[in-house]
Structure 1
Amino acid sequence: MDDREAEYPIAPPTPLKGRGAVTNVQGRYERDQRERVDDGWETACEVDPAAPLRTQVFEERAKSILTRNASPDIPFSVSLNPYRGCEHGCIYCFARPTHSYLGLSPGLDFESRIYAKINAPELLRYEISKKGYSPEPIALGVNTDAYQPIERELRLTRRVIEVLNEHGHPFAAITKSSLIERDIDLLAPMAARGQVMAAVTITTLDAEIARTLEPRAATPTRRLRTIRELSAAGIPVGVSIAPVIPFVTEPDLERVLEACAEAGATSASYIVLRLPWEVAPLFKDWLAAHFPQRAERVMARVREMRGGKDYDSSFAHRMKGEGAWADLLKQRFGKAVKRLGLNARRHGILDMSHFKRPEMTPPPSPQLSLF
C-alpha cells in the first residue's frame, strides 16, 4: 500500500462541478466525529456524487458591522463584510474556518450556505454617526467577497457604498468579480476626491486551473477587463496575486503582473498560500482530486516555506513564507514590479477630509414588529 492509498483508503475525493471544496470536512468545534466508510450502500442506492449542490442564502441581522484588527502585517485596521461564506468557492480561502463558528463545515457548507447581513447599511450608518467614531479607511470584502453572486440580487454592497459616498467616507474594495463595474457610477466620483481604491485578485491566467481553483469567480480574462474598466473610469486599481501556489499558479507570476499592468493596474501585491486550520485538509483533498501527480511536490514546497509545517501563523512569515524559495519568489516579484513600473505611485493614503458625520440615529433593532 503506497502513501496515497493510506491517506485515501476508499478513493481519492471526487470533484464536484462548480465547487471548490471536494469534501465537507468537519469544523473544529463539532463534538461528534464522522468517518466515511464504504459499506456498499452508496453504490447500491446509486447516489450521484456529482449531483449539483444548491446554494442556500440565509438572512442574518448582525449586531455589529465594523471589524477591527491590530495585525502588523495587514495594511488596514477596519473592515466590513456584508456576507458570511462565499459562493466563489476558492479552495484556498483563509476565511473558510470562520464557518466553524456557525457549527458548519468550512468545506462545501462555506460556499453553499451563505449568510447575508441584511441590516449592514443601516448598521454602518449608525456606527459612523456615533460621537466617538474616528473615521479611517474601511476595507470592504476582505474576508468574503462583497461582490459574490448573491449581491446581484440583494445589493447590500451597493447600499453600503451609497452610505459611504453620502457621508464622504473613504474605503478600499477587493474582489474577484466583474460585478464591481456596476458601481462605477459611485466609485468614480469618490476616486476623483481621493476616497476610494480597488484591487482585483488574479491568481493565474490559466482558465482551466482557475475553473477548479475559484469555480464561481469571474474568469481571469474577465477580471483583466474589469481592471481596464475601473482604470478607464479613473479609479486607482491594483492586482492582488493571492495566493501564490507552488507549481500550480506560481509559474504564472510574471505573466499575471504583465497582463495586469497592460490592463491599467498601477499597483501589485502577493501572498504565499496560507493553510490555517481546516483549509489544510481541504486544500490537500483538492490537490488529490485535481493534481494527484504533483500533490506531494506542492506540499513539500509549502512546508519548506513554513518551517516544515503546513502553516506558520506568525506575523513575520504567514504572508510571505521563509527560506530560499520564499526569498526567490520575493526577488521575482520585485524585479517584475520594477520592470513594469508598478507600485511607483502611492495610493495608500485616502482623503478623510470630506467625511460628514450622519445625524445620530438609534441602532437598528433586530426585534421584528408584531404589527
Structure 2
Amino acid sequence: MERRAVRRASGATTFYEVPSRTIIDRVPEAVGLGVSWAVSPYRGCAHACLYCAARGGHRQLGLDGERDFGSAIVVKTDAAKRLRAELAAPRWKGEPVGIGFSGDCYQEAEQVYRLMPGIIAALRDAGNPFRVMTKSALVLRDAELLAGAAEVAQVEARVSIGFVDDRLRRAVEPGAPSAQKRLELCAELGERGVPCGVLMGPILPCLTDSEDQLRAVVRRVAEAGAVSLTPMVLQLPPGAREWYLRWLAEEHPRLLPRYEELYAGGPLAGEDYRRRVVGRVNELARLYGIGARRAPWQAQRSADRQLALL
C-alpha cells in the first residue's frame, strides 16, 4: 500500500492518500451494527481505542495495527466520486449503509480532507438511507447537510458511548472525547434536526457491565434525547485482541482468566453472557423511554437523483 500511496505528514500523523477501488464494502453480520454495507473514507483512527476491531485491517495494508493505528491514517481521497458511481450502478439496491466503520469519519483527518460533505451529498441525491458513526463533535459542521438528507432518506447519527467512567476512557480511548462531550453532542444533533442514537459499545466485561454502570449510561443517554440505543459487547478479533489483552494483563491481571473463558470461542464473548447483558440494556432502555416517542420516518421531499460523476 505504501508504495502506491501519496504520503503527507502532519505533526505526528502520516496520511496515506490512496484512490478507492471500491467504497461500499460488505459488513460481516457478526459485527452486530444493523447494516450490511459500510462506507469508510478513512482507515485508522486518531482516537486510538485499544479495543477497535479495525486495527487488524492495518496489518493487511502493511502497517502496524498496534503502533500505527492512531498515527498512520489511510485517506480515500476520491471517496465521494467513487460513491456516486457505485450508487448509480444497476446492481446497487439502495440498502442502508453505515459510514465510519474502519475509522471515525469525523476524526482530525476530516478537518484536512473534508470528504464527508461530498459523501453525504451523494447519498442524499440518491435518496439512500445511511447512518454516520462518530465520537467527534466535528459532525456538527455538517448538521445542516445531514438534516437536509434526512428529508429524503432515513438518516441517523450514531454516537458511541460504552461507559461514563472517564478514568477508564482515558486508558482505553486515549484520543476520544469524554462521555459527557459525546452526550452533549447527541443532544445538540437532535436540536439541529439530525436524529441521533447511541451505540452503547463496547461494554467491557467485568469493567463496565455492572447493574449500576449500565443504568448510569442508559439514564444519561435518555436525558440526552437519543432516539435509539444499541448495546454492543466488546469484540476481540485478531489485531485488537492482542493489544487489548496486553493492556488488561498490565492493569487488571485478575480478570484475564475470565476473559480467556468468555472469548475462548473467538472474537465474540460467550452467547449466554451477551444475551444477558444486551437483554438488560434493552430492558433499561424501555424503562427510561428511549425511542418511545419516535415517529416513523417519512420523506418530506423527493431525492434529486443527481448521480452524475463530479
TM over 0.5: yes
* Superposition deviation, residue 155 in structure 1: 0.7
The structure-2 alpha-carbon separation of the partners of 1:82 and 1:120, relative to structure 1 and needing over 3 Å to count, comes to: same
Which structure 2 residues correspond to residues 209-248 of structure 1 after superposition, within 5 A?
209-248=168-207
TM-score by length of 2: 0.86
The superposition leaves residues 216-235 of structure 1 with CA deviations (integer Å, 9 ceiling, x where unpaired) of 11111110110111111232
Secondary structure of residue in 2 paired with 1:296? helix
In structure 2, which of residues 9, 14, 26 is the aligned counterpart of residue 68 of structure 1? 26
Q: What percent identity do the matched residue pairs reach?
A: 33
Which structure 2 residues correspond to residues 264-343 of structure 1 after superposition, within 5 A?
264-289=225-250, 291=251, 294-297=252-255, 299-306=256-263, 309=264, 312-313=266-267, 318=268, 321-323=270-272, 325-343=273-291
The question of 1:113 aligning with 2:72 is answered yes
Partner Cα distance (1:143, 1:266) in 2: 24
Contact 1:199 1:240 in 2 (8 A): yes
1:54 counterpart residue number: 12
Partner Cα distance (2:123, 2:33) in 1: 22
The structure-2 alpha-carbon separation of the partners of 1:348 and 1:122, relative to structure 1 and needing over 3 Å to count, comes to: farther
Structure 2 unpaired stretches of 5+: 1-10
Which structure 2 residues correspond to residues 359-370 of structure 1 after superposition, within 5 A?
360-361=308-309
Partner Cα distance (1:208, 1:265) in 2: 24
The superposition leaves residues 34-85 of structure 1 with CA deviations (integer Å, 9 ceiling, x where unpaired) of xxxxxxxxxxxxxxxxxxx922111111111111246275521221000111
The structure-2 alpha-carbon separation of the partners of 1:266 and 1:110, relative to structure 1 and needing over 3 Å to count, comes to: same
Partner Cα distance (2:253, 2:297) in 1: 41
Contact 1:169 1:354 in 2 (8 A): no
Contact 2:227 2:294 in 1 (8 A): no
Secondary structure of residue in 1 paired with 2:271? coil
Partner Cα distance (2:302, 2:104) in 1: 27
Structure 1 unpaired stretches of 5+: 1-52, 365-371
2:5 counterpart residue number: none
The question of 1:133 aligning with 2:92 is answered yes
Partner Cα distance (1:85, 1:167) in 2: 28
CA RMSD of aligned residues (A): 2.6
The structure-2 alpha-carbon separation of the partners of 1:347 and 1:88, relative to structure 1 and needing over 3 Å to count, comes to: farther
Contact 1:56 1:112 in 2 (8 A): yes
The structure-2 alpha-carbon separation of the partners of 1:300 and 1:124, relative to structure 1 and needing over 3 Å to count, comes to: same
Partner Cα distance (1:65, 1:100) in 2: 19
Which structure 2 residues correspond to residues 194-205 of structure 1 after superposition, within 5 A?
194-205=153-164
2:105 counterpart residue number: 146
Count of paired positions: 297
Partner Cα distance (2:298, 2:102) in 1: 21
* Superposition deviation, residue 176 in structure 1: 1.1
Hey, which of these two has a bigger chunk of strand by percent?
2
Partner Cα distance (1:304, 1:351) in 2: 48
Partner Cα distance (1:192, 1:355) in 2: 9
* Superposition deviation, residue 147 in structure 1: 0.9
In our comparison, the structure showing a higher alpha carbon Rg is 1
